[in-house]
């Protein structure tokens, strides 16, 4: 299966500064592109790969050095404990939605196809985009569209959907497009819809909560000088990662001790986000918005 073309493989894997006998985590296995590169650098080391999507299991290589965990990375600490792993030397997370998801009509991630409003990464979950659109109040929808899609007319969009669903349920992508068609801008319609779908997807899959959980867990599990590399694709995720690496919190304000030292478990390796080379963007247009940030565990 051509699941996903990995982004910034060289930059992210090299950024982990891998030790051949170390223990590493690929928090977002997907098509396995990053995992395969990590394995190339390991001798007696171990790689634990997470992915909640059951369709990814067919991509796992036959390699005794890899442990595949078919769950979301928010359960990182629990499964490391289950496998008797107390600490790790590095963790990589590629937060992007795979090409496979966008190109699979039945998954409901793209407005290019008509299907049920779904967007679940974990197909065993009962909570889908259909529940968000049909059951959230106007206030809740406004918050989702404003916070996760950064949509300027979020309140108008939410009220329009609530008004439409009073007549009939919004069960499919076609229903949703019909409900909001009068709000679509004559220019940049696709960009507006991309923000709407991004906001729904983030809410359905609890992406922001999971990212914050991963950062907190990783900072406690990393060995001294262990590293974490995170590839994000929109400003909300990147801001969270940047703030946590710089301040140890999810806000931009730094907390310091009596001597003015910043209280944080990690320190950024790269002060500015690393972006894909032009050659990679030409081959994979979905890499265009990617930003890579790397941080290292501060030795106590």
Q: Tell me, what's the pLDDT at 149?
A: 93
Could you tell me which residue, 17 or 262, shows the higher pLDDT?
Answer: 17
Note the pLDDT tens digit of each residue in 203-249: 999 999 999 999 999 999 999 999 999 999 999 999 999 999 999 88
Do 11 and 29 form a contact (C-beta atoms < 8 A)? Answer: no
CATH class of 9-99+207-297: alpha beta
> How much is the average pLDDT of 261-282?
89
> How much is the average pLDDT of 156-175?
95
Residue 257 burial by CB count (10 A; 0-12/13-18/19+): exposed, middle or buried?
exposed
Sheet containing 222-232: which strands, arranged edge to edge? 66-69, 46-50, 23-26, 88-94, 222-232, 291-297, 266-268
Note the pLDDT tens digit of each residue in 279-290: 999 988 878 899
* Ranges of CATH 1.10.150.170 domains, the chain: 123-204
Note the pLDDT tens digit of each residue in 20-53: 999 999 999 988 899 999 999 999 999 999 998 8
Look at residue 78 and tell me whether its pLDDT is greater than 50: yes
* Ranges of CATH 3.40.50.150 domains, the chain: 9-99+207-297
CATH topology for the 123-204 domain: DNA polymerase; domain 1 (1.10.150)
**33-to-186, 233, 255, 278 alpha-carbon distances in Å:** 39, 17, 37, 20
Note the pLDDT tens digit of each residue in 107-154: 645 556 667 888 788 778 889 999 999 999 999 999 999 999 999 999
Do 158 and 142 form a contact (C-beta atoms < 8 A)? Answer: yes
**Quick one: angle between helices 207-221 and 189-204, nearest 10?**
60
Predicted confidence band of residue 55 (pLDDT cuts 50, 70, 90): confident
Note the pLDDT tens digit of each residue in 83-105: 999 999 999 999 976 555 545 55
Q: Tell me, what's the pLDDT at 87?
A: 97
Residue 146 burial by CB count (10 A; 0-12/13-18/19+): exposed, middle or buried?
middle
Do 100 and 31 form a contact (C-beta atoms < 8 A)? Answer: yes
Q: Tell me, what's the pLDDT at 81?
A: 96
pTM of the shown model:
0.89
Look at residue 271 and tell me whether its pLDDT is greater than 90: no
Q: What SS3 string covers the chain?
A: CCCCCCCCHHHHHHHCCCCCCCEEEECCCCCCHHHHHHHHCCCCCEEEEECCCHHHHHHCCCCCCEEEECCCHHHHHHHHHHCCCCCEEEEEEECCCCHHHHCCHHHCCCCCCCCECCCCCCCCCCCCHHHHHHHCCHHHHHHHHHHHHCCCCHHHHHHHHHHHHCCCCCCEHHHHHHHHHHHCCCCCHHHHHHHHHHHHHHHHCCHHHHHHHHHHHHHHHEEEEEEEEEEECCHHHHHHHHHHHHHCCCCCCCCECCCCCECCCEEECCCCCECCCHHHHHHCHHHCCCEEEEEEECCC
Q: Tell me, what's the pLDDT at 1?
A: 43
Percent of the chain topping pLDDT 90: 69
């Amino acid at each position: 299966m051509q699941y996903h073309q990995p982004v910034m493989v060289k930059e992210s894997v090299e950024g982990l500064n891998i030790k051949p006998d170390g223990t590493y985590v690929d928090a977002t296995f997907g098509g396995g592109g990053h995992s395969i590169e990590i394995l190339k650098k390991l001798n007696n080391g171990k790689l634990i790969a997470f992915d909640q999507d059951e369709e990814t299991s067919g991509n796992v290589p036959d390699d005794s050095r890899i442990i595949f965990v078919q769950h979301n990375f928010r359960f990182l600490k629990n499964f490391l404990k289950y496998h008797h792993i107390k600490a790790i030397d590095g963790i990589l997370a590629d937060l992007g939605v795979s090409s496979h998801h966008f190109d699979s009509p039945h998954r409901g991630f793209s407005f290019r196809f008509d299907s049920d409003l779904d967007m679940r990464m974990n197909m065993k979950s009962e909570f889908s985009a259909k529940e968000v659109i049909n059951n959230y109040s106007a206030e809740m929808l406004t918050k989702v569209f404003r916070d996760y899609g950064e949509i300027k007319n979020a309140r108008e969009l939410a009220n329009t959907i609530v008004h439409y669903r009073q007549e009939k349920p919004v069960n499919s992508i076609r229903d949703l497009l019909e409900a909001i068609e009068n709000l679509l801008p004559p220019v940049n319609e696709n960009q507006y819809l991309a923000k709407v779908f991004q906001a729904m997807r983030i809410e359905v899959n609890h992406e922001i909560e999971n990212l914050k959980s991963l950062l907190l867990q990783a900072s406690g599990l990393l060995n001294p000088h262990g590293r974490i590399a995170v590839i994000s694709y929109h400003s909300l995720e990147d801001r969270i990662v940047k703030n946590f690496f710089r301040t140890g919190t999810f806000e931009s304000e730094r907390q310091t001790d009596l001597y003015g030292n910043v209280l944080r478990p990690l320190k950024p390796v790269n002060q500015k986000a690393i972006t894909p080379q032009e050659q990679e963007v030409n081959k994979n247009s979905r890499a265009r918005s990617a930003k890579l940030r790397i941080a290292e565990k501060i030795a106590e």
